[in-house]
Amino acid sequence: MKLELVVPTSLDEIPLKNYQEFMRIYNANTEDNEFLSEKMVQLFCGIELKDVLRIKATDLTDMVEHFNKLFSQKAQFKHRFKLGTIEFGFIPNLEQMSWGEYIDAEKYMTNWDTMHRAMAVLYRPITKTKADKYEICPYLGSDEFAEAMKLAPVSIALGASVFFWTLGSDLLTALADYLEKETRKMMETSGAKHDNLESNGVGINQSMLLLRETLEDLTRSHPFQSENALPY
């Protein structure tokens, strides 16, 4: 019987849950390239493993190369996307992000196994729109939309991850640079009292050190460091 196969032409066509499953398999089988190639085609084309084995060897090689090219493309951040009849929107203003939202997003985004939960923090159903502005429903925990987010396109998750980590890194870098400049200003101010200068300088230096350490931790915890979101 002839095998009918639909090969995704965009990351918009691959659900997040399939990418999560591939990453779990990759982490457990990093040295088995043949098996990883089979699982890649199985998961991203949505077919059974027994059918993958029927594919001509040269065609399978071409498909693996095709998926590597798809995942090597720069992830594009999208503010809004649809799942079925529901339109989800990214948190409109990250400066208004609650502490609970931030720590949940940061916690869940460090591992692809929990990326659907991070997505449920960052994207929620749009409740009101006006021109290009919108409002989303309040955050009541990641459980509410976590399962739905497994069906979100992996392109949305990749773009949101890059955006979130880049923004967080930029904010910490800017703050650390600001504190460093303030320290230099204090040292150069001739009218400053020695005691105040010493105590304030120590406090600022400690804050700078903490920020630098946080920035390093943030960089290390990013779920993918290379341009290609496929580690294989």
The pTM (predicted TM-score) of the whole model is 0.75
Which pLDDT score is estimated for 109? 87
More confident residue, 182 or 125: 125
* Sequence-separated contacts (24+) of 54-58 with Cβ below 8 Å: 54/3, 55/3, 55/5
Paired tokens of 169? 């890194």
- First-to-final CA distance of the chain: 31
Query: Band of the pLDDT at 16, cuts 50, 70, 90?
Result: very high
Q: Out of 38-47, 75-84, 93-102, 104-113, which region has the weakest mean confidence (pLDDT)?
A: 93-102
Which pLDDT score is estimated for 199? 45
Query: Band of the pLDDT at 140, cuts 50, 70, 90?
Result: very high
